[in-house]
Amino acid sequence: MLYKTHADIDPIMEQYILSVSRANNIYALDIEEINQFVGEINDYIDNGIKDLERLTIPEFVRTLEKEVA
């Protein structure tokens, strides 16, 4: 578990969670749901980094070119 209580959430993460959830108060959100959300974000980032690590330089450049186009 990432956070045991709402008070464990740092201010930057709190603001991010509030902005994406559209909640007015962090305490209105269930701590287990917050942990699940943050865990999914971490998994998404980890998988993205692993995907980038597998790319060769030419593949990486082609990927960037597609995103820019």
Which is more confidently placed, 14 or 52? 14
Q: Please write down the long-range contacts of 26-33, taking CB distance under 8 Å and 24 or more positions apart.
A: 31/3, 31/4, 31/5, 31/6
User: How confident is residue 29, by pLDDT bands cut at 50, 70 and 90?
Assistant: very high
48 assigned to some structural domain:
yes
Whether 61 is in a domain gets the answer yes
More confident residue, 35 or 53: 35
**Do the Cβ atoms of 30 and 38 come closer than 8 Å?**
no
> 1 lies in a domain?
no
Higher-pLDDT residue of 63 and 17 is: 17
Total domain count, the chain: 1
Please tell me the distance from the alpha carbon of residue 29 to that of residue 60, in angstroms, as a whole number.
Answer: 39
Residue-range definition of the domain harbouring residue 52: 6-68
The pLDDT, as a whole number, for residue 61 is 63
30 neighbors 47 (Cβ within 8 angstroms): no
**46 assigned to some structural domain:** yes
Q: What is the pLDDT of residue 52?
A: 60
Assess if residue 19 is contained within a domain. yes
Q: Running DSSP on this structure, what letter comes out for residue 22?
A: T
- 55 lies in a domain? yes
pLDDT value at residue 45:
82
Predicted confidence (pLDDT) at residue 15 exceeds the cutoff of 90 = yes
